[in-house]
C-alpha cells in the first residue's frame, strides 16, 4: 500500500513537471550555418507533450526527428526518436522555471538535452562528452507566426 502511494505521488509529480513545460509549446524556427531548423511542440495534455523537428540543409536530404516528453516513474522524460536508432530517454533534472535539462549519462552523445526561455525565444542545446572533451550544439528559435 505504501509503495503504491509512493509510485502514485511520483506519477503525479511527473505529470506536474510535464505541465510546467508549457512554455515550450508552439512552432519554432532557427537558421544557422545555412540550415533551417524547425521544431514544434504540442502543449501538455495528460502528462504528455509531443514534438517534431525538421532540419533542412542545402544539398542534403531533410532530417526529421520525433520527440515526446512523458510522465514516467523516473520523472518527466524527454525521448528522442531518430531515424534508424532506438528511442533514447533523458530524465528531467531539478531546475528553475523556464529551463529544462534532461539527462542520460549512459548515452554516447548527447548526454543532456536542454531547453530554456530566452525572452520570447526558445533556446535549445545538446551537450556531452566526446572523447573526453565537452561538445555542445546550440539553437535560438523564434516563434513561427
Domain ranges of the chain: 2-143
Whether 32 shows a pLDDT value over 50: the answer reads yes
Mention every residue, 6+ apart, whose C-beta is less than 8 A from residue 83.
63, 64, 65
Whether 5 shows a pLDDT value over 80: the answer reads no
Q: Rounded CA gap, 116 and 144, in Å?
A: 17
Instruction: For 86-133, write each residue's pLDDT tens digit.
Output: 999 999 999 999 999 999 999 999 999 999 999 999 999 999 999 999
Q: Which of 5-19, 112-126, 130-144 is least confident?
A: 5-19
Q: How confident is the model at residue 145 (pLDDT cuts 50, 70, 90)?
A: confident
CATH architecture entry for 2-143: Beta Barrel (2.40)
Instruction: For 35-77, write each residue's pLDDT tens digit.
Output: 999 999 999 999 999 999 999 999 999 999 999 999 999 999 9
Q: Rounded CA gap, 54 and 132, in Å?
A: 29
Q: How confident is the model at residue 79 (pLDDT cuts 50, 70, 90)?
A: very high
Amino acid at each position: 500500500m505504501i509503495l503504491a502511494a509512493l509510485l502514485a505521488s511520483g506519477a503525479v509529480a511527473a505529470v506536474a513537471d510535464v505541465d510546467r513545460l508549457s512554455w515550450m509549446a508552439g512552432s519554432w524556427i532557427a537558421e544557422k550555418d545555412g540550415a533551417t531548423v524547425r521544431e514544434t511542440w504540442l502543449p501538455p495534455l495528460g502528462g504528455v507533450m509531443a514534438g517534431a523537428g525538421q532540419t533542412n540543409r542545402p544539398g542534403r536530404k531533410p532530417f526529421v526527428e520525433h520527440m515526446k516528453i512523458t510522465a514516467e516513474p523516473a520523472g518527466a522524460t524527454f525521448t528522442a526518436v531518430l531515424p534508424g536508432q532506438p528511442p533514447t530517454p533523458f530524465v528531467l533534472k531539478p531546475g528553475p522555471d523556464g529551463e529544462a535539462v534532461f539527462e542520460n549519462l549512459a548515452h554516447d552523445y548527447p548526454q543532456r538535452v536542454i531547453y530554456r526561455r530566452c525572452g520570447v525565444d526558445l533556446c535549445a542545446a545538446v551537450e556531452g562528452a566526446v572523447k573526453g572533451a565537452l561538445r555542445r550544439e546550440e539553437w535560438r528559435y523564434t516563434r513561427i507566426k
